[in-house]
Amino acid sequence: MSLDQNLDKILIIDFGSQFTQLIARRIRELGIFCEIISHKKIKIFDISKSVKGIILSGGPLNVDQINKYSFDKKILELNLPVLGICFGHQILSKLSGGKVKQSKHREFGLANIHKKNNSLLTSNFFGTKKSKEVWMSHADQVSKLPRNFKVIASSTNSKFAIVENSKKKFYGVQFHPEVTHTENGKKLLSNFIFLICKIKKNWSSKDQKIKLINDVQHQVGTNKVICALSGGVDSSVVAQLLNKAIGKKLYCIFVNTGLLRKNEETQVIKTFKKRLKMNLIYVNAEKEFLNKLKNVSDPEKKRKIIGNLFIKIFERYSKKIKDVKFLAQGTLYPDLIESKSVTGSQTSKIKSHHNVGGLPKKMNLKLVEPLKFLFKDEVRKLGLELKLSKEIISRHPFPGPGLAIRMPGIITNEKIKILKEADYYFIQALRDHGLYDKIWQAYAALLPVKTVGVMGDNRTYEYLCLLRAITSEDGMTADFYEFKKSFMQIISNKIVNSIRGINRVVYDITSKPPSTIELE
Ligand code: XMP
């Protein structure tokens, strides 16, 4: 699976780390094109002239599990610069003649590394203190360096925290420079790319726009495409991209599942049909969705039902438009990573995101997923490049299954009505207090629990409303947002006083991991 054969690039060989996609993201942020490929799939002849450097990712394996069938060692004989990260560092050392064994002390979390020698990789990285805080996550470590390697930095538990063979341009780091917890980590990646691989910047939103428009034109030819428009950032960007690429051959289908946010359908029609003048087909499928979801409380079942019904409706409407061959979706990179590794490596399944896991195997439409290699922030930048309004671009993400997964337990009309109001007041309050753009995603959820309250002289017995607001870079990890008490009081009063059915508000203070952003 290759995005582009000709662009100069960094190739990331994935050994199954949850952070592999972050490495890619950091490199793209530095303005360089990169691709990820599984260690099992990469063969030496896949490595074209446009590859200017190789990064070996971390992963859950140990070095003895890698044999000639699962990684072609000849890749290290191509005279290309190589950076091994965590497991990548261990396998690079092992294949170069060093030894790896289980560490006496596993290192997870922050550790201090201290400079031992100069290296191009660490130019302007350490600063005057000659030490840096880095993020470690490993149980094994290099115990003996290969010949012609030297130590650049060590931590208390990892003698070989950074190593190099400058002649071969092989570098290894035991920690994760790609995660934000590693102080100045991006500088290491930047040094590898610019000073060692000597690659020139070639990846910007403008480059992406041109390339993606060309790709779409190439993929769909003169055929018609229907687009699953939800009004969220991803599908809006897809729609606008296709609008630019194929104009009126694009038919946007907007399905009202009955599980959308308050007034969402009106806003979508106003923006896309009236302002952007796209072919927009509005389908009110509220009853159909709610019927199918009746008495269903299992989260995965909800997702599957919603995903399948979505596709059925698209197919139904696509048949009404003659000669439709393609269905466009706003699938993003993180959607693919968490459901099924895009690269074939061993990341575990966490949730079946509806636009991936829910797809029926036998689909009559081919997929157009132009954003599937992009991260959310790349999509936002692309959206601006495509001249979508800032209001659309800065909207918080909203999951395909909508309010269904913010309402653990069974779904009823009454609960939907209550939840739409609570969410509306919460989001409105965030906007009114200038907090909306500081938060990556926020929502209200309705828990399937009733608790006792007292209002006036009366006892109430009503639902519990949970508020969630998180900061994140890409939805893969997240932290809860710290509101001031005064704001929490305002929103809790507003919800309890305005909505019949809720008499208690709680705030979710878990990060991701261990929780996920959505409740189901
Ligand atoms: P989780 O709950 O997995 O959410 O931490 C990460 C991000 O993904 C969104 N999300 C979904 N988006 N279909 C989507 O299109 C889905 O099934 C789905 N589930 C979660 C979630 O809102 C958050 O932004």
Range of the domain at 495: 407-507
Q: Evaluate whether residue 275 is within a structural domain.
A: yes
pLDDT at 410 over 70: yes
- Compute φ and ψ for 462, nearest 5 degrees: -135, 180
260 shares a domain with 164? no
Output the CA 14–ligand 1 centroid distance in Å.
23
Q: What is the CATH number of the domain that holds 143?
A: 3.40.50.880
> What is the structure's pLDDT at 139?
85
Q: Whose CA is nearest to atom 18 of ligand 1?
A: 399
Q: Is the pLDDT of residue 278 over 80?
A: yes
Residue owning the nearest CA to atom 14 of ligand 1: 399
Strand partners, 318: none
Does residue 178 carry a catalytic annotation? yes
CATH code for the domain in which residue 466 is found: 3.30.300.10
Of the chain, the percentage scoring pLDDT greater than 90 comes to: 68
* Known catalytic membership, residue 176: yes
Arithmetic mean of pLDDT, 174-198: 96
- pLDDT band (50, 70, 90) for residue 44: confident
The whole-chain average pLDDT of the chain stands at: 90
Task: Pick the last residue of a domain from 393, 428, 444.
Answer: 393
Mean pLDDT of 122-132: 94
pLDDT of residue 314: 80
In a domain, 262, yes or no: yes
The domain boundary, picked from 393, 415, 449, lies at 393
438 alpha carbon – ligand 1 mean position (Å): 19
> Mean pLDDT, to the nearest integer, of 433-438?
98
Q: Identify the pLDDT of residue 42.
A: 82
Residue 30 domain-assigned (yes or no): yes
Q: What is the mean pLDDT of residues 493-509?
A: 97
Of 142, 167, 196, which one is at a domain's C-terminal end? 196
Q: Is 4 within the bounds of a domain?
A: no
pLDDT (0 to 100) of residue 355: 52
One domain for residues 23 and 100: yes
Single out the residue of 445, 370, 436, 449 nearest to residue 402, CA to CA: 445
State in Å: Cα 357 to ligand 1 middle: 12
Q: Is the pLDDT of residue 340 over 50?
A: no
Structure tokens at 512: 């991701």
Look at residue 243 in the predicted model and tell me its pLDDT: 94
Over range 406-410, report the average pLDDT: 98
Instruction: Clarify whether residues 119 and 176 are in a common domain.
Output: yes
| 108 pLDDT above the threshold of 60 | yes
What pLDDT score does 408 carry? 98
Backbone angles phi, psi at 186, to 5 degrees: -65, -30
> What CATH number is attached to the domain comprising 318?
3.40.50.620
Choosing from 35, 107, 164, 178, the catalytic residue is: 178
Q: Enter the tokens of residue 154.
A: 């060590």
213 and 244 in contact (C-beta within 8 Å)? yes
Cα 397 to middle of ligand 1, angstroms: 8
476-490 in b/e burial notation, b at 16+ Cβ within 10 A? bbbebbebeeeeeeb
As for ligand 1, residues whose beta carbon falls within 6 Å of it are 303, 351, 353-355, 397, 399-401, 441, 475, 512, 516-518
Assess whether 122 and 44 both reside in one domain.
yes
pLDDT at residue number 341: 43
Q: Are residues 154 and 277 in the same domain?
A: no
pLDDT band at 231 (very low <50, low <70, confident <90, very high): confident
Q: What percent of the chain has pLDDT over 70?
A: 93
pLDDT at 324 over 90: no
At 339 the pLDDT is 42
92 and 211 belong to one structural domain: no
Please determine, for residue 17, whether its predicted confidence score (pLDDT) is greater than 60: yes
**Same domain, yes or no, for 247 and 344?**
yes
In this structure, are 288 and 378 located in the same domain? yes
Pocket test for ligand 1, best of 512, 518, 519 (most atoms within 8 A of CB): 518
Out of 176, 353, 354, 396, which one is annotated catalytic? Answer: 176
Tell me if 512 is assigned to some domain: no
Angle at the Cα of 235 from the Cα atoms of 231 and 237, rounded to 5 degrees:
105
Atom of ligand 1 nearest to the CA of 398: 22
Ligand 1 center–CA 210 separation, angstroms:
28
Atom of ligand 1 nearest to the CA of 338: 3
Ligand 1 atom showing the smallest separation from residue 330 Cα: 15
Does pLDDT of 466 surpass 80? yes
Atom 17 of ligand 1, nearest CA residue? 353
pLDDT-based confidence at 336, cuts 50/70/90? low
Q: How far is the CA of 32 from the centre of ligand 1 (A)?
A: 27
Q: What is the pTM of this model?
A: 0.73
Domain count of the chain? 3
- Give the pLDDT band of residue 349 (cuts 50, 70, 90): very low
User: Do 250 and 333 share a domain, yes or no?
Assistant: yes
* pLDDT given for residue 72 in this prediction: 86
Tell me the residue type at 52. K
